[in-house]
């Protein structure tokens, strides 16, 4: 790494050129996907079909907003702040609408210090939930459906990763346990495949514990449909790829994986919010969220806003930095949670540092970096034929891939903040962010442009 923070490319010229051809096809498909609503709806429909009948998975539906956009929401779930309980008229109206008996109560979300309440009724459809939310907001209270925020219901789809031509890249990490900088990645989790090349070996894996009903952080890679079909699920390896990017930029940082999104790329805003609070309580001061999407009425994600409120109240919480992907829809419409004032929204540039046409952009974007053809760690497995007519295979646990998206621009910024804090222990993450932004070049609607990883 040079003094500017940019990371050198480990590939030979021949390997890079081979990857470049794959990335050209990948980015062309990504640009096309931002304009093809029918294909995106069909892809999302496949995700819904794959999880049908699974009570252990999030079930979702679409609600069309006033602009004609389809937004995924959790079936039958509605969120309000707990202080709504003081308004007895509205509270009792909700009890009636959600058909609660006198002995029943809605669910207070414990991991958010009971500041958020979830009402559930599977017979109430998404359009009705949206109408209820608008009515409650008109009464002066915060209310929302429970959104599904990942970036595209199929994170990979036609723009998924491509096997890299990189032959070998050995990695010897410093002692992450002794690191004073902890970066939390809230994503699909981390593969439990052991990489002989040394990459990501210091990241703790925690298995699910059915007996204790505790959730781990392992990305199981193939669990859909049914109990798996021998192919990688639609979002398998996403978190592993993100963590590999952070490890490249800040090899001395401690990386911690939190799983809030399943192997097909679906999670809820409540899941994400709870993971954020847990990560900070467990010592993380830099959080990476490579997920997000539009919301109904362009309202912030209520659960995430509650999580940010809790984080700010913790000791040192106001120095916590949350870095979030701006989205891949070639739109200026706010992508949440990136558009929150408390977040660092990251858009994508091409490898020559010009704005990527498929990237979201706007006044709410804070910074940008290369988002095309990023090289990072991937997983052993085979791509599903329904995603790619010529499915790719990764035969080795030392798998490498090239991938494009703001999902992979964001962790570079998180990693660079961590690197600066490691280089100068007196810096807080917020001070490191200020310094980083000051070093960037202003680009209209793309915030401050900084070069870190080379891309392809």
Work out how many domains the chain is built from and give that number: 2
Q: Is the pLDDT of residue 341 over 50?
A: yes
Query: What is the DSSP secondary-structure string of 272-289?
Result: HHHHHHHHHHTT-SEEEE
Q: Give a yes or no: residue 43 inside a domain.
A: no
Cβ contacts of residue 168 below 8 Å, gap of 6+?
197, 398
Q: Which residues contact 224 (CB under 8 A, 6 or more apart)?
A: 50, 51, 233, 234, 263, 264
Averaged pLDDT, 436-444:
98
Residue-level pLDDT at 157? 55
- Domain span including residue 65: 59-147
Q: 297 and 193, same structural domain?
A: yes
- The rounded distance, in Å, linking the Cα atoms of 336 and 325 is 9
Residues 108 and 239 in one domain: no
Rounded to two decimals, what is the model's pTM?
0.96
| DSSP letter, residue 172 | -
Q: pLDDT tens digits for 317-338?
A: 999 999 999 999 999 999 999 9
Q: Please check whether residues 430 and 327 belong to one and the same domain.
A: yes
117 in any annotated domain: yes
* Residue that terminates a domain, selected from 114, 147, 180: 147
Q: Is the pLDDT of residue 1 over 50?
A: no
332 shares a domain with 222: yes
Residues whose CB falls within 8 Å of the CB of residue 320, separated by 6 or more in sequence, listed in order = 280, 284, 285, 286, 287, 311, 312, 314, 429
Per-residue b or e along 17-39, where b marks 16 or more CB atoms closer than 10 Å to that residue's CB: ebbbebbeebbebbbebbeeeee
Any domain includes 54: no
From the list 358, 360, 441, 453, the residue with the least C-alpha distance to 415 is 453
Q: Tell me which of 23-37, 262-276, 281-295 is least confident.
A: 23-37
Do 75 and 205 share a structural domain? no
Instruction: Tell me the average pLDDT of the chain.
Output: 92
Task: Please state the rounded mean pLDDT for residues 152-177.
Answer: 76
Q: Is 99 helix (H, G, I), strand (E, B) or coil?
A: coil
Do 108 and 114 touch, CB atoms closer than 8 A? Answer: yes
- Of the candidates 444, 449, 301, the one whose C-alpha atom is nearest the C-alpha of residue 363 is 444
pLDDT above 70 for 216: yes
Share of the chain above pLDDT 70, in %: 92
| Digit-coded pLDDT (tens) for 231-262 | 999 999 999 999 999 999 999 999 999 999 99
Q: What is the structure's pLDDT at 42? A: 78
Residue 7: pLDDT band with limits 50, 70, 90: confident
Residue 46 covered by a domain = no
Give the pLDDT score at 190: 98
């Amino acid at each position: 790494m040079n003094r500017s923070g940019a990371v050198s490319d480990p590939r030979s010229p021949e390997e890079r050129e081979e990857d470049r051809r794959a990335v050209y096809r990948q980015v062309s498909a990504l640009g096309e996907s931002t304009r093809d609503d029918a294909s995106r709806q069909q892809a999302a429909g496949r995700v819904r079909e794959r999880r049908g009948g699974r009570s252990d998975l999030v079930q979702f539906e679409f609600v069309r907003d006033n602009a004609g956009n389809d937004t995924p929401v959790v079936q039958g779930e509605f969120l309000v702040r707990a202080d709504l309980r003081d308004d007895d008229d509205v509270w009792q109206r909700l009890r009636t609408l959600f058909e609660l008996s006198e002995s029943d109560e809605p669910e207070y979300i414990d991991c958010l210090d009971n500041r958020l309440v979830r009402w559930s009724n599977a017979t109430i459809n998404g359009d009705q939930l949206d109408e209820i939310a608008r009515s409650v907001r008109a009464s002066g209270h915060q209310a929302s459906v429970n959104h599904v925020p990942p970036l595209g219901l199929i994170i990979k789809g036609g723009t998924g990763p491509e096997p890299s031509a990189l032959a070998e890249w050995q990695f010897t990490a410093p002692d992450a346990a002794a690191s004073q900088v902890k970066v939390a990645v809230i994503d699909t989790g981390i593969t439990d495949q052991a990489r002989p090349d040394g990459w990501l070996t210091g990241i703790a894996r925690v298995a699910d514990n059915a007996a204790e009903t505790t959730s781990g952080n392992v990305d199981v890679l193939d669990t859909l449909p049914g109990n798996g079909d021998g192919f990688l699920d639609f979002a398998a390896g996403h978190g592993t790829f993100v963590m590999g990017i952070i490890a490249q930029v800040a090899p001395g940082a401690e990386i911690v994986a939190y799983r809030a999104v399943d192997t097909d790329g679906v999670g809820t805003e409540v899941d994400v919010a709870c993971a954020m609070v847990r990560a900070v309580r467990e010592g993380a001061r830099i959080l990476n969220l490579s997920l997000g999407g539009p919301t109904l009425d362009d309202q912030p994600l209520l659960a995430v806003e509650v999580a940010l409120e809790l984080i700010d109240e913790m000791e040192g919480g106001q120095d916590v930095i949350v870095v979030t992907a701006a989205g891949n829809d070639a739109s200026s419409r706010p992508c949440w949670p990136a558009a929150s004032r408390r977040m660092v929204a990251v858009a994508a540039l091409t490898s020559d540092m010009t704005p990527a046409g498929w990237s979201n952009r706007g006044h709410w974007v804070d910074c940008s970096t290369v988002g095309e053809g990023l090289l990072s760690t991937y997983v052993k497995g085979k791509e599903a034929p329904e995603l790619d007519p010529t499915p790719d295979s990764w035969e080795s646990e030392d798998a490498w891939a090239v991938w494009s998206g703001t999902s992979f621009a964001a962790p570079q910024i998180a990693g660079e903040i961590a690197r600066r804090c490691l280089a100068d222990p007196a810096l807080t993450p917020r001070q490191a962010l200020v310094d980083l932004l000051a070093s960037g070049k202003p680009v209209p609607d793309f915030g401050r442009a900084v070069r870190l990883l080379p891309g392809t």
